[in-house]
């Protein structure tokens, strides 16, 4: 690890940070105002001054291996008070994007997610795939029925004559969706596991080397206990609420977080009902599951909409970058198409419902398939970094 920190400056890294939103990096003249102003920086070895120095010198490995870049919530206090307009918060955000790319595999896909020129490809792949599955669902129903009749797991007894085509189409569409997203979720989990394994090792070595922890070895049991202790801080958004410059970000951010938690619960229940209890639905709007789904969906639309508004309301000298808009656009479209799909279904507008559901599936794929490569990966890396800071007794 020591040898890693003695590496030569990486000029490509400096250029990469600038391209991802840190073009103000060289304005920094190390006055330390940012570290003094930051309300959530630890007392020992506070950020972001040391990160600004390392970034200016091109010390990529030192920054990527540091958990401190993830403790920053980009609240903007440091950027507002910087006498030179160096925008340390934006620089750290850019460094985090580089770190996500470094820990994710394959790197080519991670680079594509941050490249606006690759957006048509990222959208086109799921669009073609789901159009293909829709074609199969509509034209190969009888053939698929014969195939599934030979699989003991599937019980076709509830499908009676007269209900056959409707039940068959509903089941095929659900099965094909799961056929896509279950393997996708598995692959994403593996990518995150491998990335987090290296990430945790690196931030521990970094903390030991720089004296930011009194723990010399990783105790995973104690680390899990630290995770339990840090969860209330996450759920209450305590760190966000300590910030002043962009305090209005806390509420919409919390709405999006809780909406994802609610939708995860609903999806898990629906999966169990379908594949364990063979209950294909549809479910009454009066069931608790539907209430939770609808409330979460509305919260997702409003929360992401407010986050978009906050970025549009930024001052002229406060730029917003593609990496920010990509994930905001995906999240907003996910919530909007989901709610509109349900509303048009209840209004019996079948063809509009099918089209909206098609767009909804594309949005889901964009979110989950590219989760380890987009800005949304901060959900995992920041949680890990905050957990380690708690475990390492960082004050």
> Which run of H or of E encompasses 169?
helix 164-209
* Residue (of 174, 149, 147) closest to 159 by Cα position: 149
Residue 155, sorted as left (phi over 0), alpha (psi -120 to 50) or beta, turns out to be beta
pLDDT, residue 365, reads: 95
Residues 391, 389: Cα–Cα separation, whole Å: 5
Mean pLDDT by 10 residues, the chain (395 residues): 57 90 89 88 86 92 92 86 90 94 91 92 94 76 43 39 44 70 93 94 92 89 95 88 78 94 92 79 83 95 94 71 91 96 90 91 94 93 94 83
pLDDT, residue 319, reads: 67
pLDDT, residue 154, reads: 38
pLDDT, residue 153, reads: 36
Q: Is 210 exposed, middle or buried (0-12, 13-18, 19+ CB in 10 A)?
A: middle
CATH 1.10.1060 placement within the chain: 2-103
Q: Which token pair is 41?
A: 């920086």
Residues 389, 71: Cα–Cα separation, whole Å: 9
pLDDT, residue 321, reads: 84
Percent helix, strand, coil in the chain, to 5, is 70, 0, 30
Q: Determine the topology of domain 2-103 in CATH.
A: Fumarate Reductase Iron-sulfur Protein; Chain B, domain 2 (1.10.1060)
pTM for the whole structure: 0.85
3-state secondary structure of 151: coil
Residues 360, 136: Cα–Cα separation, whole Å: 18
Residues 166, 170: Cα–Cα separation, whole Å: 6
Residues 72, 141: Cα–Cα separation, whole Å: 52
Q: Which token pair is 226?
A: 């630290």
Residue 345, sorted as left (phi over 0), alpha (psi -120 to 50) or beta, turns out to be alpha
Beta strand residue intervals within the chain, DSSP E: none
Are 338 and 259 in contact, with CB atoms under 8 Å apart?
no
């Amino acid at each position: 690890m020591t040898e890693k920190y003695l590496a030569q400056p990486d000029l490509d890294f400096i250029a990469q940070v600038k391209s991802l939103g840190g073009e103000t990096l060289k304005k920094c003249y190390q006055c330390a105002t940012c570290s003094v102003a930051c309300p959530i920086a630890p007392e020992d070895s506070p950020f972001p001054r040391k990160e600004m120095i390392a970034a200016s010198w091109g010390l990529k490995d030192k920054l990527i291996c540091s958990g401190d870049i993830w403790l920053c919530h980009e609240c903007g206090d440091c950027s507002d008070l910087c006498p030179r307009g160096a925008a340390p918060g934006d620089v750290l955000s850019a460094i985090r994007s580089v770190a996500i790319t470094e820990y994710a595999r394959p790197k080519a896909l991670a680079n594509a997610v941050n490249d606006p020129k690759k957006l048509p490809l990222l959208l086109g792949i799921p669009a073609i795939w789901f159009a293909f599955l829709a074609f199969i669902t509509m034209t190969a129903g009888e053939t698929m029925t014969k195939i599934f009749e030979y699989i003991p797991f599937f019980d076709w007894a509830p499908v009676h004559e007269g209900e056959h085509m409707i039940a068959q189409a509903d089941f095929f569409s659900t099965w094909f969706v799961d056929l896509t997203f279950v393997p996708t979720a598995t692959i994403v989990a593996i990518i995150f596991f491998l990335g987090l394994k290296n990430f945790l090792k690196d931030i521990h070595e970094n903390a030991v080397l720089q004296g930011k922890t009194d723990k010399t070895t990783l105790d995973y049991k104690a680390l899990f206990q630290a995770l339990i202790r840090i969860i209330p801080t996450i759920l209450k958004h305590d760190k966000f609420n300590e910030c002043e410059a962009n305090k209005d970000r806390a509420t919409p951010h919390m709405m999006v977080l809780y909406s994802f938690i609610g939708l995860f619960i609903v999806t898990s229940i629906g999966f169990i009902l379908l594949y364990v209890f063979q209950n294909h639905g549809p479910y009454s709007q009066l069931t608790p599951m539907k209430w939770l789904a609808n409330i979460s969906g509305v919260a997702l639309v409003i929360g992401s909409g407010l986050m978009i508004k906050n970025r549009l309301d930024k001052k002229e000298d406060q730029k917003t970058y593609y990496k920010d808009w990509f994930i905001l656009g995906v999240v907003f479209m996910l919530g909007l198409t989901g709610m509109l799909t349900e509303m048009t279904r209840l209004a019996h507008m079948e063809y509009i419902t099918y089209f909206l559901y098609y767009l909804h599936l594309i949005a889901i794929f964009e979110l989950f398939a590219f989760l380890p490569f987009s800005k949304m990966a901060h959900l995992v890396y920041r949680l890990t970094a905050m957990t380690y800071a708690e475990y390492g007794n960082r004050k």
